[in-house]
Structure 1
């Protein structure tokens, strides 16, 4: 039995699928995709670094011989749809932060490599420049769907991916030849914003998952598409036939967050509620901004919500002040308009003042 096969067996006992590729592998598909995004000015700020380097493991990790890729299915808390005044959280962000969970599982495997003679082994779970999805594809863990997700046989696309980069040479696993995407086009048709502009091509700037995680002001024309979403979007995976019939692994209980409750979150309470989840990584302001938008999209205009929005007009964050102004303009309450008129004369931030002005005119 080779080392890769032995490691695969250890990974399987942890509920992981595992493959390996030489560190000299060039992720050609990822390189083409990222260069296309750069040409179209679609690049996102989430991961920095040179495109050329991000697709060449040996350039990022001098002395590396092997990149080990693993996939683990999400353990998803069972929950029904959100009710009025509640926010929708995408499946991968419910429960304990998948970064932490997968890192805990990968560290013992990395230590095992050292027992076999590795002098170093680095664990990466969605926090480094090397592209996990491309490594997993090259290692034969799955194949790409039209929706740009990696489909892992018997797991579907609802998986977390991680890497171990090491100077130990392991036997390589081969890319999958079968199965392939069914090319049904359901994901392209279902994408709310048309972010899937073509098969295997994503415009991240229109993707609701990206929009709910980016910092700053959301484009006003895309805000209605968020619906009740607080974080992430599952549409292109929900409609994918590769995910049909796969039993979801049940995780701990989950309660849809109340939107008005989120608006009044202060200080340590945010970390207390969300600190162990992946919701926390972008911070409180992003989540509260999304809650403001979701309030409008659900038509939830109770007195409590309007009062919280008025208070946000005084918030230190220009992003929250601006989105609160937009929301009050949309909800149209008389007391909200009076608050906007007061804020317009006192606001010093040009972007926020622009939002207030449009809200008073009924625009946006």
Structure 2
């Protein structure tokens, strides 16, 4: 096997989290130094402890991306060749009620990072951003009458209250970064799109390579079991584990693309190892490439535990999109990456991991 090149010195913001810890286990050994900046937020890290899954080589610096002083402390450990920007508030529903918090961390936190690089005179060779499928909003739909694509925009509260789940006479289209116009329908999605624009603008003026991975719904061992905003797979798993019937919103046909954590980590490795001349400034979709309804994922989890079958309750969340899954063909073609885990296998692995954990949100 050909030995992969050294990554140089690496900085990972939010690097003590779910994705950061998994990535550290995969490639930290290839770095000349793996520095993690993380606030150890209690919503994710109870007790402010260093996560056991974080690679032993990682130097953890507790700091908040919105504080210039914390950035100055972190950059004393630089300069950095590679920056992986994971730090973000991630709750789609939570962002509607805590818009300022999401904007401070996701938008101002990113600008504080860029300002800190400027103050320190440190220009990283490459920045990789963990983007989000939330930037697509409802995305593209196709008219059944004439086959043309259009962007229907946000489903209003009135539509949802009237149980008008879909857009009549139209079918959803899988998201693809080079074909879709981003139209976020949540505060969270809007802040993630702002991150993309800020990094691209700054990097273009500093000859820094920037890559963006728009992640679909990431799940798997290592995700927070106490943060109800980090994904329904974890929440559904904990409900089924205790024999509770899973309630499914709308009519059960909300669609998501569930991508296993190991596949996300290998996607980051693939873009980090990619040729800057080919991938600079590019955005890639990272998902399983398959749409799974919320009812289907609930069924798989309930079956694993022998729990009651899920029930559709007709409830809804404002700002939620109806269908979201990715066309990953371009990512596979350019980066040579493809997911290895299907949903049923990944769900089983997650249940096995959860069984050995003490903390729960339910």
TM-score of the two chains, using structure 2 as the length reference: 0.22
Larger strand percent: 2
Higher helix share: 1
**Structure showing greater Rg:** 1
TM-score, length-normalised on structure 1?
0.22
